[in-house]
Structure 1
């Protein structure tokens, strides 16, 4: 890890300094293996998202950002905190019965779901797959109900966790990120979400789930057959992607929290409201940000 840290600092030093929400570009003077890194611009071109941040994936040092400390709705990226609370609580092999209330909950807010049926019995780990891959609000509600216990207690734990992590621009009122009670009552900032993503990705159980393109749960004595597929287009399309979570509501637009590793270099970032409704726009924003860092490095380190 120290070798990587030195490599990344060498690659980025003299190229970019980011401070307190304002990007300040320096000359492209860094070199790797005595080669000049051809950084062509002081920031990634064509990023549509009004809120965004990109950081190295070890200490979370921000390399570029846009409105990093502005709180905005984050939709289902909220489920990263829900997963963090559940995994921290432990006992992921405990069995949980899906409550009847998921039907009204998902219907009321037109939330995405994992096709769960009240009365099914799944483990907490299986419910994490149901929540994080197809972005199942039914799974998020079920986990919150079990681990709170109850929604109010669980949401309080989410906010306590955010506070202990120093995420001053973050607040939760729902375990799914749905507009409950209002469009803007659950919110965060690009800088906070990078920190949250970094913490979640340090947990093997979380990392294993969000790096999966799909998960098949065969029918059993207490559950139906389920096949859950990720909503994260980067996992299909961008080399080195290892997670993590999409989001969409009318107020949040399309959002994506993501992490990749190429040439041994992890990067973590987020885009918020890339488009009113296009998941592809969020993916494209993320790719532009990632390529801005990786392409110059890969041009002198021929590793894909």
Structure 2
């Protein structure tokens, strides 16, 4: 239609051209109105509708076996699913191993690496039999890099054997309140002789809440890499974390990852934002756990907003993911259209408020015009101050002349000092001349003394000769 309106305008009469221009302007106005309506509807869309894709991706991960999301220090659980289902925790077991090592009070002691601790499956730090590693460095290797050889070295050093350390692990778990957990090794293996290493999302949440009360554990859990040295050969170890959430989510601060073929992807993550400290435990995730964890944290931090508060109903503990999808669809179908209409009214109210603010700006500008007179008055006062500056400069010039005169006087005094020095030099010369004859007299006295001694010797010799002749 636009092409027909724009086609051969030069061959039309002035009436027809006027009509075509009017139709063209009307069409352009319609297009502009439609564009602005679309923009306004997108801008005023409620937060929950904009977050629908995130929530669909979140609940589409029904392939996550169990999870729990909770704020530290609060009894309210934000999200949960099958928190008491026993599953393999994989390397999340190392949290209990490390907190026992930290509470032992022996972190500064050297640990001798045994052959048993090196004969484990990866991941490993690569320690050799006979190496000496600080216990604190072993804790870092187990937490940051999930090193299995470090976990076994901790167990053998603290308890003498793996079995006795496992007994202390289970005792500690019961003390914390982990009623549905049982551990068979310090690293998290779940097959072969270590079958039966199980825990639940609720128990692991209790363990993590207990561990984060320890400052040393918090320090180690936040590390992205561990750098330490072997004590005898001074070999440097640089171990990096497997936690990709630290790169994907800006508010993430650790804590531990885990994976085995039986346990799947496991994660205990922590995020801090706006004085909110959120913990997430995720077990047996068969999807991208990093993106899912980011979405969960985003929803947790938006929990106080009215648009997203209705979304935080705890998911029932059955495995049906269809029920969760039904809840999402019901929330997305009801109530949000009315919120959109209310937001339009709010937009018009805000526009009226902005018009009022324009009037206030005009009034403030008029007030500023009055202040111009004050500025002019201040400039005049500054001109007076300029005269004072000129007078001070003139006084400085006089002081400069006085300084020059004083310098000239100092030059004269320098000449006088030079004359005095010359006189003193002349006096020294006279003293030297006067002292020379004394030196000559001293020489004459010494010569006369030597001559007298010689004369006495000759006389005595002659007397002896006369005596010999007479005899």
TM-score class normalised by the smaller sequence: 0.7 to 0.9
| 1:165 aligned residue | 176
Per the TM alignment, residue 288 of structure 1 is displaced from its structure 2 partner at its CA by 2.1
CA contact (8 A) 1:172 1:186 kept: yes
Q: What SS does structure 2 have at the residue aligned with 1:138?
A: helix
Q: What SS does structure 1 have at the residue aligned with 2:93?
A: helix
Structure-2 change in CA distance of 1:294 and 1:115 (3 Å): same
Q: What SS does structure 2 have at the residue aligned with 1:53?
A: strand
Per the TM alignment, residue 138 of structure 1 is displaced from its structure 2 partner at its CA by 0.2
Per the TM alignment, residue 270 of structure 1 is displaced from its structure 2 partner at its CA by 0.9
| 2:300 aligned residue | 293
Aligned counterpart for 2:236 among listed residues 192, 206, 225: 225
Question: Following the alignment from structure 2 to structure 1, what is the Cα–Cα distance between the partners of residues 116 and 238?
Answer: 22
Question: Following the alignment from structure 2 to structure 1, what is the Cα–Cα distance between the partners of residues 134 and 154?
Answer: 10
| 1:194 aligned residue | 205
Question: Following the alignment from structure 1 to structure 2, what is the Cα–Cα distance between the partners of residues 219 and 142?
Answer: 14
| 1:53 aligned residue | 68
1:103 and 2:110 matched:
no
Structure-2 change in CA distance of 1:219 and 1:95 (3 Å): closer
Question: Following the alignment from structure 2 to structure 1, what is the Cα–Cα distance between the partners of residues 276 and 197?
Answer: 32
CA contact (8 A) 2:89 2:283 kept: yes
Structure-2 change in CA distance of 1:152 and 1:219 (3 Å): closer
- Once the two structures are superposed, residues 138-170 of structure 1 have per-residue CA deviations (whole angstroms, 9 ceiling, x without a partner) of 000000000112111110111001111121111
Structure-2 change in CA distance of 1:191 and 1:215 (3 Å): same
Structure-2 change in CA distance of 1:298 and 1:125 (3 Å): farther
1:206 and 2:220 matched:
no
Aligned pairs for 1:114-129 (under 5 A) are 114-129=125-140
| Bigger mean CA offset, 228-237 vs 265-274 | 228-237
Aligned pairs for 1:110-189 (under 5 A) are 110-181=121-192, 184-189=195-200
Per the TM alignment, residue 233 of structure 1 is displaced from its structure 2 partner at its CA by 1.2
Structure-2 change in CA distance of 1:154 and 1:248 (3 Å): same
Question: Following the alignment from structure 1 to structure 2, what is the Cα–Cα distance between the partners of residues 241 and 90?
Answer: 29
| 1:82 aligned residue | 97
Question: Following the alignment from structure 1 to structure 2, what is the Cα–Cα distance between the partners of residues 144 and 60?
Answer: 33
Per the TM alignment, residue 283 of structure 1 is displaced from its structure 2 partner at its CA by 1.5
CA contact (8 A) 1:86 1:147 kept: yes
Alignment TM-score, normalising by the size of structure 1: 0.78
Question: Following the alignment from structure 1 to structure 2, what is the Cα–Cα distance between the partners of residues 198 and 214?
Answer: 23
Question: Following the alignment from structure 1 to structure 2, what is the Cα–Cα distance between the partners of residues 85 and 38?
Answer: 43
Alpha-carbon RMSD across the aligned residues, in angstroms, is 2.5
Structure with the higher helix share, 1 or 2:
2
Question: Following the alignment from structure 1 to structure 2, what is the Cα–Cα distance between the partners of residues 213 and 94?
Answer: 24
- Structure 2 portions without partners, runs of 5+: 1-45, 308-471
Q: What SS does structure 1 have at the residue aligned with 2:285?
A: coil
Question: Following the alignment from structure 1 to structure 2, what is the Cα–Cα distance between the partners of residues 78 and 140?
Answer: 10
Question: Following the alignment from structure 2 to structure 1, what is the Cα–Cα distance between the partners of residues 145 and 97?
Answer: 15
Q: What SS does structure 2 have at the residue aligned with 1:79?
A: helix
Question: Relative contact order (alpha carbons < 8 A, sep ≥ 6): 1 or 2 greater?
Answer: 1
Larger radius of gyration: 2
- Structure 1 portions without partners, runs of 5+: 1-35
Alignment TM-score, normalising by the size of structure 2: 0.51
Structure with the higher strand share, 1 or 2:
1
Per the TM alignment, residue 193 of structure 1 is displaced from its structure 2 partner at its CA by 0.7
| 1:245 aligned residue | 256
Q: What SS does structure 2 have at the residue aligned with 1:172?
A: coil
Aligned pairs for 1:251-262 (under 5 A) are 251-262=262-273
Q: What SS does structure 2 have at the residue aligned with 1:129?
A: helix
